[in-house]
Structure 1
């Protein structure tokens, strides 16, 4: 979407003019994150989390490159190499804890970013591609996070790899072949560790590439806003810089402070103690769990305990787990309400918070032992999760009566009197 009132890049320095004529990188930056990119004037702090996701990715890439210089992707010495990083490499403990906790913080800001998009209808036209590319980034993050969890080669690393790759064995006929192809053998070993390390190193750069597409797709229609109303003129926008760069800078400062508190005072709070025990194929941990950010999907996987017709419970759980993510790709077409923002949708707002609570319950059950009452709670929560998107949301979009929308973003921010005075002032 072009904004005719946006500031234009006009270099005055001879070198910058020469550069702009031959490689318009300064113009690209100016139009993407500078004064040349008008942004709705009413964005709240929930719009900080896109930038925070990019910051988290940069932290992961930088610390990951440093760790890769000292890590040995060999099943015989991988665990010892991690201990070497922690004990012998200068600031190695800091790099490792930043990388491990940075992954958790990355998922925290992305989950908030996703739920913000759900509440404010950021998946609706004309931003469907922004939403779809965001989900692709999320899937790549999950793959990267899983493979990174395997690399320390502790007990949870080994058995996590065994369980997760074992899911593919549930696929009829070709399942076991796929599992062996993924592992490079019949069980997690040196071949699997090398493959996971290679992909774990590569995928963050793929994520960075998809993020560029994500931002590109965002800049075509422009940013959404809490009202869900389209921009109607220059009075509805302000330049991204300096207003939102300052706001994002404040958010980045809070993010880094919280990450530093976690790294320096509770570095293992989000980890699992069993991963400080070297992998032992002959000793199965009492309670195998993935990282916390996979727990909601792990709960859906474990919710199926009974075979249905010709389909075994394990296969049903695998299909449901993947379907819980793939379902989000169809969200722009499941929710047909013409109103984007949940602020003006009373029924939607109530059911949205029920969904948030449901996902929290799934997360808790995913980290709990596979026993009652957690299994039954997981089953009920999984049923609601799918019902929310397939039944409740389509019904709400057809039956609810939205609240009256403001005429413009300026009216929503400053009131009707100011908005009505704008044309007279322009004359």
Structure 2
């Protein structure tokens, strides 16, 4: 966001002037998160979760690098090396629990971040690229988390790898060669473990690179806000520092308190007991499930139980699971309402709550056994998920009568526009 009233960086000392001429890093930081970056004055705490996601990624990278110094990606000793980290490495138990629970907290803040974007339509023009890059980050997170779940080489790690990579086998003609290429053989073993370890170590740094692009794209149109009204004047903004650094600091404090409570008092609450049993290819667990943050997509995968003409049910489930994520890439063009914020869209708000409940139900069903009534409920919930984006949302965009929007961000905060700009409540288009 570039405004004429934004403060520009001015080096104060000879050293900072010298550095600014040769490597303008302080200028970059000042313009990105300092007083040189004006931000809408009405952002609420739902805008904290982008920063929290960045903090969670840093925690994962730091704890992961340290654990990689002690981990052995070999099927014969991988489980023992994980136990060695827990029992013999100084503070190893805390590092591993911080890494495992950090992944869960990373997904929690990202899911809240995504649903905030859905409610306030942060994907609409001119912010489509921010949304698309965010979804790329989400896909990278999912790939990284899946490969990390395999590394402890417990029962759920082994069978999770076998089931998930087996999904590619459902693709006609090329499916089995792709599966063998991913595993480096016909079943998860040393080759798969080495590949997953290598990629699990690499992908967080790729994710960090895409996050930089995500933030860069954000700074071009600027942050969205709860009203969906664009910035009109200097009074609509405040400097990011100190106003939102303080607000983000408070949110970070709450996040760390909850994270530490989980880490020290319930570190295994979100894990699976079978993963404390060494991997055994000859003993299939009674109930194979992925980590909880994959459960909604796992429920969609299992919702298809019968063939459709010549298309097998397994392939339909795989296509539906991937489509449930790829569908979000088209959201900026599926929602054609000129109003962004759900606060001013009464009909949209109702169906957004239904979507949220539907996704929570899918999450519960994904962790439930593959039996009735869970399978039938998964089919109904999956059908509604796709219907919401492909049918309901486009119809709402055409028939909904939104509430009048405030003339400016300042008016939404103070009740009037104190800049002297005349005008009453008007419908602010998204473009």
Q: Structures share a fold, TM > 0.5?
A: yes
Distance 2:382 2:106 in 1: 25
Gap regions ≥5 residues in structure 1: none
Could you say which residue in structure 1 is the equivalent of 2:158?
158
Aligned residue number for residue 250 of structure 1: 250
**Which residue of 1 is the match for residue 104 of structure 2?**
104
Q: Distance in 2 between matches of 1:75 and 1:162?
A: 14
TM-superposed CA distance for 1:423, in Å, is: 5.6
* CA distances 1:375-395 after superposition (whole Å, capped 9, x unpaired): 000000000000000000000
Please show how residues 271-350 of structure 1 align to structure 2 within 5 Å.
Answer: 271-350=271-350
1:400-425 per-position Cα deviation (integer Å, ceiling 9, x unaligned): 00000000000000002xx156469x
Aligned to 1:139: 139
Distance 1:15 1:420 in 2: 42
CA contact (8 A) 2:233 2:419 kept: no
CA distance in 1 between partners of 2:25 and 2:342 (Å): 38
Structure 1 residue ranges (4+ consecutive) displaced by more than 6 angstroms after TM superposition: none
| Distance change >3 Å, CA 359–CA 4, structure 1 → 2 | same
Q: 1:142 and 1:122 mapped to 2: Cα distance?
A: 22
- Residue 7 of structure 1 corresponds to 7
Structure 2: give runs of 5+ residues left out of the alignment: 423-431
Q: Would you say the 8 A contact 2:355–2:388 is kept in 1?
A: yes
Aligned to 1:44: 44
Secondary structure of 1:238's match?
strand
Cα shift at 1:313: 0.1
Q: Number of paired residues?
A: 422
- Distance, in Å, in 2 between the alignment partners of 1:368 and 1:333 is 34
Partner in structure 2 of residue 32 of structure 1: 32
SS at match of 1:185: coil
Residue in structure 1 matched with residue 121 of structure 2 by the alignment: 121
TM-score by length of 1: 0.98
- Provide the secondary structure at the position in 2 that maps to 1:310: coil
Give how far 1:46 is off. 0.1
- For the residue of structure 1 that corresponds to 2:256, the secondary structure is helix
Residues 158, 415 of structure 1: alpha-carbon distance in 2 compared, 3 angstrom cutoff: same
RMSD: 0.8
SS in structure 2 of the partner of residue 354 of structure 1: helix
Q: d(CA) in 1 for partners of 2:412 and 2:221?
A: 20
**Aligned residues of 2:170 and 2:314 also touching (Cα < 8 A):** yes
CA displacement 1:32-86 (0-9 Å, x = unmatched):
0000000000000000000000000000000000000000000000000000000
Aligned position for 2:148: 148
Give per-residue Cα distances to partners, 1:133-167, cap 9 Å, x unaligned: 00000000000000000000000000000000000
The 3 A distance-change label for structure 1 pair 84 and 394 is same
Q: Which residue of 2 aligns with 1:407?
A: 407
**Distance in 2 between residues matched to 1:121 and 1:232, nearest whole Å:** 19
User: 2:429: which partner in 1?
Assistant: none
Cα deviation digits, residues 94-148 of structure 1 (max 9, x gap): 0000000000000000000000000001000000000000000000000000000
| Inter-partner Cα distance in structure 2 for 1:152 and 1:3 | 50
Q: How far does the alpha carbon of each residue in 1:279-317 deviate from its partner, in whole angstroms, 9 at most, with x for none?
A: 000000000000000000000000000000010000000
TM-score when normalising by structure 2 = 0.97
| Number of the residue aligned with 1:397 | 397
Question: For 1:15 and 1:56, how far apart are their aligned partners in 2?
Answer: 33
CA–CA separation in structure 1 for the residues paired with 2:64 and 2:254: 23
Distance of 1:249 and 1:39 partners within structure 2? 16
Q: For 2:169 and 2:97, how far apart are their aligned partners in 1? A: 34
